[in-house]
Amino acid sequence: MSDPLAPGAVIGILGGGQLGRMLSVAASRLGYRTHIYEPGAAPAGDVAHAVTNASYEDAEALRRFAEAVDVITYEFENVPADSLDLLESIRPIRPNRRALAVSQDRLTEKEFLRDLGLRTAPFADAASEKDLPAALKRIGVPSILKTRRMGYDGKGQIRFADVGQRDWTGAEAVLEGFVDFSAEISVIVARGIDGSVAAYDPGRNLHEGGILRTTTVPSGIPQAMVTDAVLLAARIAAALDYVGVMGVELFVTAEGLVVNEIAPRVHNSGHWTQAGCTVDQFEQHIRAIAGLPLGDGKRYADVVMENLIGQDMDRLPELLASPDVQIHLYGKSETREGRKMGHINRVLR
Ligand code: ATP
Ligand code: MG
């Protein structure tokens, strides 16, 4: 076990979006500085100590970044393996490479979860277009074809209603049987360097057009299922020797919980913790990767988190006037349809 990061130490963050921004704020509250690595526009850069604006393939920039920080974490999971090798030869990466490898690829992820004895949607490998008929024959319809890599907000997904349908994602994919769920929930779990685990109350998620719209706590699912969800998330974290915060997305079905996917980072569905807990998911992640004791995950309020997407920004005057609303804006200069511009936490009690 390593010593905790000393005050003033620098945390390197791969990815400069809103998650990196909120991690950066949390890190500075704990007396740390952050260095953001981001090839594009970086809302996180506004609240960081330093920014490297370079491609994820730029070996020289990656080397300088790693040498300038004490530990490396990420909010973006698709950094190329060679670049991670280089970074890791200089500084520790937390959460570890295995967690990244497993969650970067939907097929590897499903196999990992299945091998842990957890339930997933039925799935079949569809490496190329010519594998599609066999996969459809095995899984049937309704089903969803998802690219193995790089998908987010429902992008890279095609729904199948007919086994004769011949649409293709254009990239290596996995065909998933449609899960008949009554609700979608997610658990945000944290694991420290010493192996201790803390979990937050599962939230219930509503999606619209493939994008998370709201997360509500409490989720309304039976207490026995809450326990199941938390134990399952802790098992995944332990199996990966995970350090940091992880999001686990689950479907609630009549037969129990089905794991949809895991995210090796702070998660949009955990934003409610900013208004519902003493230590939110961002501080929790920084504590974990810095080698500090984890905070308590206890929930003190009922909260509805709502994403502000695109034109939702027009509602700002009304939201600013609402006494029970906590507002988080990401400082993105351009409002675009489907773009996450901020979120609110409405505190119900
Ligand atoms: P995000 O970035 O929001 O996590 P994603 O692109 O990684 O999205 P998924 O989480 O796999 O995609 O799927 C997005 C949504 O589509 C899910 O939250 C769920 O509502 C629906 N969905 C995905 N897979 C299935 C399935 N096998 N059965 C039923 N619904 C599904
Ligand atoms: Mg998802």
- Superfamily in which the 183-348 domain is placed by CATH: ATP-grasp fold, B domain (3.30.470.20)
CA 186 to centroid of ligand 2, rounded, Å: 10
**Is the CB of 176 within 6 Å of ligand 1?**
yes
- The full set of domain ranges for the chain reads 10-93, 122-177, 183-348
Strands 33-37, 10-14: pairing is parallel
Residue nearest to atom 25 of ligand 1 (CA): 178
Q: Would the CATH topology of 122-177 be identical to that of 183-348?
A: no
Q: Is residue 301 over pLDDT 70?
A: yes
SS3 205: strand
- Superfamily in which the 122-177 domain is placed by CATH: ATP-grasp fold, A domain (3.30.1490.20)
Mean pLDDT, range 66-74, rounded to an integer = 98
Q: What is the pLDDT of residues 171-197, one digit of tens each?
A: 999 999 999 999 999 999 999 999 999
Residue 1 confidence (pLDDT): 55
Residue 143 CA: nearest ligand 1 atom is: 27
What ligand is nearest to the CA atom of residue 253?
1
Residue nearest to atom 21 of ligand 1 (CA): 210
What ligand is nearest to the CA atom of residue 210?
1
Yes or no: is domain 10-93 CATH 3.40.50.20? yes
Rounded to whole angstroms, the Cα distance separating 220 from 183 reads 10
Rounded to whole angstroms, the Cα distance separating 246 from 190 reads 6
**Is the CB of 109 within 6 Å of ligand 1?**
no
Question: How many angstroms separate the first and last alpha carbons of the chain?
Answer: 40
Residue 329 confidence (pLDDT): 98
CA 168 to centroid of ligand 2, rounded, Å: 20
CA 260 to centroid of ligand 1, rounded, Å: 7
CA 67 to centroid of ligand 2, rounded, Å: 34
Rounded to whole angstroms, the Cα distance separating 263 from 93 reads 16
SS3 99: helix
Pocket test of ligand 1: the residue of 257, 260, 339 to mutate, having most ligand atoms within 8 Å of its CB, is 260
Q: What is the pLDDT of residues 127-155, one digit of tens each?
A: 999 999 999 999 999 999 999 998 787 78
CA 173 to centroid of ligand 2, rounded, Å: 16
Residue 176 CA: nearest ligand 1 atom is: 27
Q: Is residue 200 over pLDDT 70?
A: yes
Average pLDDT, the chain: 96
Residue with tokens 């790089």: 150
What ligand is nearest to the CA atom of residue 121?
1
Residue 153 confidence (pLDDT): 77
Q: Give residue 27's identity as a one-letter amino acid code.
A: A
Residue 151 CA: nearest ligand 1 atom is: 6
Q: Is residue 284 over pLDDT 80?
A: yes
Dihedral sign computed on CA atoms, order 266, 121, 218, 340: positive
Rounded to the nearest angstrom, the gap between the alpha carbon of residue 114 and the centroid of all alpha carbons in its chain is 20
Residue 309 confidence (pLDDT): 97
Residue nearest to atom 1 of ligand 1 (CA): 153
CA 99 to centroid of ligand 1, rounded, Å: 20
CA 293 to centroid of ligand 1, rounded, Å: 33
Q: Are 76 and 14 in contact (CB under 8 A)?
A: yes
